[in-house]
Amino acid sequence: MKKTLLLMGLLAGAAASAQQAETPAQLADRTAIMDVMHKYVWSVDSLDADGYVSVFTPDAEIDSNGTVMKGQEAIRKVVTGQLERQAANRAAGKPVGALYHVISNERITFSSATEAVYHSYWQTMRKGADGRYATGGFGRSEDHLVKRDGQWLIQYRKLTVFTD
């Protein structure tokens, strides 16, 4: 038993030392990616269409359960459409339907110095007619980012909305 525990400890130590610590540049890239993803969420929640589009490459795509938007102008409609729905709700005397995102379990993996994938779970909260907040939807995201001219941007966003 002691030999097994000793062997397990040695293997664990060898595995830990085999992993390289991230370089300052990799840590800076990781921070920059988190900043992009946070700007994405804050922009969509505050209905800032320009800020929202600014985190995407010009040729970006969003795939939301098979519905695909291509290019920044199509992607802009995510925010402008929400603005239109809120205005219609206000005019009808209904709750505006503002969404607030909650993001969790974020993970970033690098496939190269200029490509990374950001994974997370998300949920949206919305104020209902009764004044209480409820989950509007939830799922996971897989964002493929590229580094262009020193800036990280989302090139492809795959949203899986949990429906069951």
For residue 132, is pLDDT > 90? Answer: no
Helix, strand, or coil here: 150?
Answer: coil
Helix, strand, or coil here: 24?
Answer: helix
Q: What is the pLDDT of residue 163?
A: 85
Percent pLDDT > 70 in the chain is 88
Among 73, 79, 2, 52, CA closest to 153:
52
Q: What is the pLDDT of residue 7?
A: 46
Cβ neighbourhood burial of 36 (10 Å; 0-12, 13-18, 19+): buried
- Strands of the sheet with 67-70, listed across from one edge: 67-70, 56-64, 151-161, 133-148, 115-127, 99-112
Which region among 86-95, 127-136, 138-147 has the lowest average model confidence (pLDDT)? 127-136
For residue 28, is pLDDT > 50? Answer: yes
Topology classification of domain 24-161: Nuclear Transport Factor 2; Chain: A, (3.10.450)
Report pTM.
0.83
Per DSSP (E only), the strands in the chain are 56-64, 67-70, 99-112, 115-127, 133-148, 151-161
| Residue ranges covered by each domain of the chain | 24-161
CA–CA dist 45, 60 (Å, integer)? 20
